């Protein structure tokens, strides 16, 4: 079954590529200073998928050894450690776990906007969003107007919760409306993956009423949008403005190993004293809400594997490059009754989104079942499921709103090249040329429906 998709791959020689990947993992092992038995990988040209699995296993062994290394360090400390104990390389004061803090470490690691900004760390990306929105709306005693230009399911859920406690929330910018807080995702989470209209945002900033611009850059991990907003504020000498950039530090920032959940908020203000006071206020809210990073996450941040800017930049750039390669395998324009849309604006994005027919959930069942069968038969490293670190090749169905029978299919080509990546690209190319669900079924023999409970 599906031999035409893998035939050319099985004939290719991936030896040099595999050797480079093993060398890279050897380097990660070396800089991590971990004790790990030698992992011998036999490069067999006859079955490149099995070699790839061996390399994946080697990477997982390194990951587990690093986690055990950090756990061994923090296991020496109680939840109520002795004051002034040097748990971190830099001395800090803390009383108990929920108030662990190392914002100096955060500043050194992730100051993406300006040197004059402050950086706070949180227990996750979503914890960052919820804590920031809770903190900022509370400054106005919840009597404020907030516009949220975001489509993440979790962000929409938080906005609904804020509405229930009296915060006035809008889902779009309307003329002649006064806003105090603007929350936005620079990249819209839809099949188009287009960017927000930055000129519209700048026009809103000219109003003296809008004080806070909160930017969730998680999807693109690109600070240029936030930088342009800050530059506009500075050049125009606009007063009483705050820019807060939020990022998930689980996605893309841990070489795909997903060591720990983490989020960050970088805070810029038009007056330096304002930065300090607003940061201290958010820090207090963070402690009360229990959204401070745990001891393991902060200890993990000191690990050499997460402190190499060069490794991280290479990792992110490779993922974006692989996504461009994947997208180029698909047709540039779609005129079929099967795949009706493929995202084109994928520069600086870690995945590609396709839309099928009328977007109903059951339309995606045959594709996912087909990929599962290919995985079972040829054992490529293709996985169904959410990708947080983007190290692997994954595919996932997105259901933006459980109340509506609509979905998208997301292809994440991941970091590593090799036979599974080539198979993913071949499959994407083949899929984009299918003209109808009937043609797909005739070619694969698959007709299926989802049990949507598995995606709840």
Where are the domains positioned within the chain?
Answer: 3-66+309-455, 97-306
Q: Kindly tell me if the per-residue pLDDT of 451 is higher than 70.
A: no
* Neighbouring residues of 377: CB distance < 8 A, sequence distance ≥ 6: 1, 2
Looking at domain 97-306, does it have CATH number 3.40.50.620?
no
- DSSP assigned state of 196: P
Inform me whether the pLDDT recorded for 96 exceeds 60. no
Confidence label for 14 from pLDDT (cuts 50, 70 and 90): very high
Greater model confidence, 120 or 96: 120
The two tokens of residue 17 are 């590529």
In the structure, what pLDDT confidence band is assigned to residue 1 with cuts at 50, 70 and 90? very low
pLDDT score of 85 more than 60? no
What pLDDT is recorded for position 160?
Answer: 86
If you average pLDDT over every residue of the chain, what do you get? 82
Res 111 pLDDT > 80: no
Q: How confident is the model over 260-268, as a mean pLDDT? A: 91
Mapping DSSP to helix (H, G, I), strand (E, B) and coil, where does residue 183 land? strand
pLDDT beyond 50 at 362: yes
Per mean pLDDT, which range of 110-119, 178-187, 297-306, 347-356 is the poorest?
Answer: 110-119
**Tokens 């809210």 sit at which residue?**
285
Question: Which tops the pLDDT comparison, 295 or 421?
Answer: 421
Q: Please write the tens of the pLDDT for every residue from 404-440.
A: 888 888 999 999 999 999 999 999 988 888 888 888 8
**Is the pLDDT confidence value at 368 over 80?**
yes
Q: What is the pLDDT of residue 360?
A: 82
CA distances from 95 to 74, 162, 299 (A): 15, 31, 17
**How long is the chain?**
456
pLDDT at 53 over 60: yes
End-to-end CA distance of the chain: 31
Helices (H), ranges, 181-337: 198-205, 224-235, 272-289, 295-301, 309-329
**pLDDT of amino acid 95:** 43
C-alpha angle 134/390/328, rounded to 5°? 115
Q: How confident is the model at residue 41 (pLDDT cuts 50, 70, 90)?
A: confident
How high is the pLDDT of residue 110?
57
For 278-292, give one letter per residue: b (16+ CB within 10 A) or e.
Answer: bbeebbeebeebebb
426 CB neighbour count, 10 Å cutoff: 18
276 compared with 131, residue with greater pLDDT:
131
5-9, 217-221, 383-387, range with the lowest pLDDT: 217-221
Q: Is the pLDDT of residue 133 over 90?
A: yes
Burial bucket for residue 415 (CB in 10 Å: 0-12, 13-18, 19+): buried
Residues of the chain by 3-state class (helix, strand, coil), percent to 5:
45, 15, 40
pTM as predicted: 0.85
Percent of the chain at pLDDT > 90 equals: 28
């Amino acid at each position: 079954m599906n031999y035409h998709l893998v035939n050319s791959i099985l004939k290719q020689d991936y030896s040099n590529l595999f050797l480079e990947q093993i060398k890279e993992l050897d380097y990660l092992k070396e800089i991590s200073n971990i004790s790990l038995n030698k992992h011998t990988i036999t490069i067999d040209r006859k079955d490149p998928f099995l070699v790839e699995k061996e390399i994946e296993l080697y990477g997982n062994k390194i990951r587990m050894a690093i986690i055990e290394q950090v756990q061994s360090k923090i296991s020496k400390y109680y939840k109520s450690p002795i004051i002034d104990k040097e748990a971190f390389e830099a001395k800090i004061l803390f009383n108990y776990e929920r108030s662990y803090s190392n914002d100096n470490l955060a500043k050194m690691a992730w100051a993406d906007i300006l040197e004059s900004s402050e950086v706070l760390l949180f227990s996750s990306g979503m914890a960052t969003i919820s804590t920031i929105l809770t903190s900022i709306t509370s400054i106005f005693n919840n009597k404020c107007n907030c516009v949220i230009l975001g489509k993440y399911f979790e962000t929409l859920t938080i906005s609904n919760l804020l509405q229930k406690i009296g915060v006035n929330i809008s889902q779009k910018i309307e003329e002649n409306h006064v806003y105090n807080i603007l929350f936005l995702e620079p990249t819209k989470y839809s099949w188009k993956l287009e960017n927000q209209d930055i000129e519209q945002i700048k026009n809103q900033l000219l109003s003296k009423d809008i004080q806070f611009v909160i930017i969730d850059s998680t999807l693109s991990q690109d600070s240029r949008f936030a930088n342009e907003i800050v530059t506009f504020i500075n050049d125009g000498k606009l007063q009483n403005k705050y820019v807060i950039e939020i990022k998930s530090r689980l996605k893309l920032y841990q070489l795909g190993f997903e060591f720990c959940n983490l989020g960050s908020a970088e805070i810029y203000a038009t007056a330096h004293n304002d930065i300090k006071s607003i940061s201290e206020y958010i820090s207090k809210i963070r402690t009360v809400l229990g959204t401070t990073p745990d001891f393991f996450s902060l200890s993990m941040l000191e690990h050499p594997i997460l402190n190499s800017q060069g490794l991280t930049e290479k990792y992110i750039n490779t993922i974006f490059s692989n996504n461009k390669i994947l997208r180029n395998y698909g047709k540039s324009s779609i005129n079929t009754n099967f795949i009706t849309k493929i995202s084109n604006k994928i520069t600086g994005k870690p995945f590609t989104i396709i839309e099928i027919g009328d977007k109903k959930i059951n339309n995606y069942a045959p594709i996912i079942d087909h990929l599962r069968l290919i995985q079972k038969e040829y054992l490529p490293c293709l996985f169904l499921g959410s990708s947080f670190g983007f190290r692997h090749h994954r595919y996932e169905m997105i259901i933006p709103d459980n109340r509506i029978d609509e979905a998208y299919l997301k292809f994440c080509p991941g970091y590593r090249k090799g036979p599974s990546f080539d198979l993913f690209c071949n499959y994407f190319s083949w899929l984009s040329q299918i003209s109808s669900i009937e043609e797909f079924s005739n070619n694969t023999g698959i007709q299926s429906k989802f049990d949507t409970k598995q995606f709840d």
